[in-house]
Amino acid sequence: IVGVNTFRDPKGSPTVIPDEVIRSTTEEKDYAVDSVHAFEARNESRTPEQLQALQSSAIGGGNVFDTLLEASKVASLGQLSAALYSVGGQYRRNM
């Protein structure tokens, strides 16, 4: 099986491998994308201030977790990640 994570119990109990992988339908994917876009649109006036506070906290050694929790109320995961990448860089595995 490619692309499926399995858990191996260190105590030796058998690993359960699923018979099939269940994939989202196109409609489910579209709904998820549309939901994120609607969330971002609803909060577009408050998001820049929260993302700036998150970046300032990350640069200044503040409580990033607390600021991240507040920012997550108005910003999507993509927006949060981009804000943090812009001030802290992004990990790239050496291939």
Terminal CA-CA length for the chain? 24
Q: Which amino acid is at 62?
A: G
Question: Looking at residue 66, what is its pLDDT?
Answer: 95
Q: What is the 3-state secondary structure (H, E, C) of 2-44?
A: CCCCCCCCCCCCCCCCCCCCCCCCHHHHHHHHHHHHHHHHHCC
Supply the pLDDT for residue 1. 44
Residue 95, pLDDT score: 67
Low-confidence ranges of the chain (pLDDT < 50): 1
